[in-house]
Structure 1
Amino acid sequence: MNFLLKSISFIFHPLFMPLIGVVFYFSKSPRHLPQELIFNKLIALSILTIALPILVFFLLKTLGKAQSIYLKDVKERSLPLAINCGILIIILFRIFPNHQIIELHFFFVAILMSTITCFILALLKFRASLHMTAITGIFTFFLMIAIEYSININGTIALMFIITGAIATSRIHLKAHSNLELIVGCFIGIIPQIIVINYWF
């Protein structure tokens, strides 16, 4: 059981969530987009949101600034979150500018808002759950996509409820977070995605 819950925390690590959200969008959007464009966007996004942060983590670990990829110590969080904010800004200007794919642009605007909030809380010595922020953020994004395009994603919604519950259970079982940190993480993920929906149209 301990191995299973650790695996859940790893498989659904916050680093993978933006890419999952974008893949979902491309698979459900009725807009016709060239396959080459989609491929290029996904490759660039994978490099910036997964490969680059992993390289940064190993650099920080070498420098003694981080011990675990889960950033268990609140003191370890500020610098990685600040770097992630910089990466998100690059994504907003270079990969998903607001004149191209508006839904994905504001998806990442909301992620940036969530990341800045987590960064501020880290400075205040509060460790909101990044796992819950990430999973609830993309869950909300999925719901917004379904509403905008009037598509049936009941199966996806059911699966997301299960995954969200599994992640919360995993984080509590592993004593990675308190209930309050999980709840705050949920709000940090959900609220920005709801705010930016007004700019989609």
Structure 2
Amino acid sequence: MDRILKSISFIFHPLIMPLLGVVFYFSKSPRFIPNEIIQAKIISLFILTVILPILIYFLLKTLGKVQSIYLKTTNERVFPLVLNCIIILIVLQRIITPNQILELYYFFVGILISTITCLMLAIIKFKASLHMISVSGLFMFFIALSIHFNININGTLALMSIITGAVATSRLHLKAHTYSELIVGVFIGAIPQLILINYWFN
């Protein structure tokens, strides 16, 4: 059981959640988007949101700034979160712009807001769960897509419910977070996505 719960935390690491949201969007969106554009955006996002943060992590670990990829202390979180904000800003400026794919643009705006909020909490020594921020934000994005496009993804939403619960259980079992840190993480991840749905129709 210990190995399973550790695997859940690793498989559903916050780094991969934005990319999962983008892949899911392209798979479910009724809009016609050329495959070349889809592939280019997915590859660009993979490099920026997964590969680059991993390289930065190894650099920070070499410099002794972080101890593990889970960023267990608030001090370890500050610099990576600042860099992640910069990466998301680059994504919003260069890859997912509002005049191209509005839903994905506001998805990343929501991620940016959640990241900034998490950064501010880290500065005041509160360790909100990054896992819960990412999985709850993705869950809310899926719900928004189902409503916005009027598509039936009940199976996916049920699976996301299970994943969200499994991630929370994993973080508690590993003693990575308290209940309050998990709950705050859920709100930080979900509320920006919920609020930004209003801008999808502009």
Task: Answer yes or no: same fold by TM over 0.5.
Answer: yes
2:61 paired with 1:61: yes
Partner of 1:25: 25
1:52 aligns with 52
Give the Å deviation of 1:52.
0.1
Q: Cα deviation per residue 1:84-115 (whole Å; 9 max; x = unaligned)?
A: 00000000000001111000000000000000
Q: How does 1:71-150 map to 2 (within 5 A)?
A: 71-150=71-150
Name the residue aligned to 1:37.
37
> Which residue of structure 2 aligns with residue 9 of structure 1?
9
Does 2:164 align with 1:160?
A: no
1:140 & 1:53 partners in 2: Cα distance? 24
Paired letter, 1:35: N
Give the superposition deviation at 1:195: 1.1
Following the alignment from structure 1 to structure 2, what is the Cα–Cα distance between the partners of residues 175 and 74? 15
Q: Read off the aligned partner of 1:102 and give its amino acid letter.
A: L
Q: CA deviation at 1:45?
A: 0.2
The 2-side partners of 1:31 and 1:125 are apart by 44
Q: CA deviation at 1:73?
A: 1.1
Give SS of 2:126's match: coil
DSSP-derived class of the 1:32 partner: coil
Aligned AA (2:37): L
Letter of the 2:10 partner, please give it: F
Task: Give the Å deviation of 1:74.
Answer: 1.1
Question: Which amino acid is 1:27 matched to?
Answer: S
Paired with 2:143 and 2:157, the residues of 1 have a C-alpha distance of 8
Instruction: Please identify runs of 4+ aligned residues in structure 1 that moved more than 4 A.
Output: none
Gaps of 5+ in 1: none
Task: Tell me, in whole angstroms, the C-alpha distance in 1 between the residues paired with 2:180 and 2:89.
Answer: 29
Residue identity opposite 1:50 in structure 2: V
The equivalent residue for 1:188 is 188
The CA distance in 2 between the partners of 1:99 and 1:3, in whole Å, is 44
SS at match of 1:66: coil
* Separation in 2, partners of 1:162, 1:191: 20
Query: What is the CA–CA distance in structure 1 between the aligned matches of 2:10 and 2:44, rounded to whole Å?
Result: 22
Tell me the CA shift for residue 29 of structure 1: 0.4
Task: Give the percent of matched residue pairs that are identical in Structure 1 and Structure 2.
Answer: 66
Per-residue deviation, residues 148-200 of structure 1 (Å, max 9, x unmatched) = 01100110011001100000000000000000000000000000001111111
TM-score (norm 2): 0.99
**CA drift at 1:2:** 0.6
Q: CA RMSD in A?
A: 0.4
TM-score, normalization by structure 1:
0.99
Q: Distance in 2 between the 1:159 and 1:123 partners?
A: 34
**SS of alignment partner, residue 7 of structure 2:** helix
Structure 2 residues not aligned, in runs of 5+: none
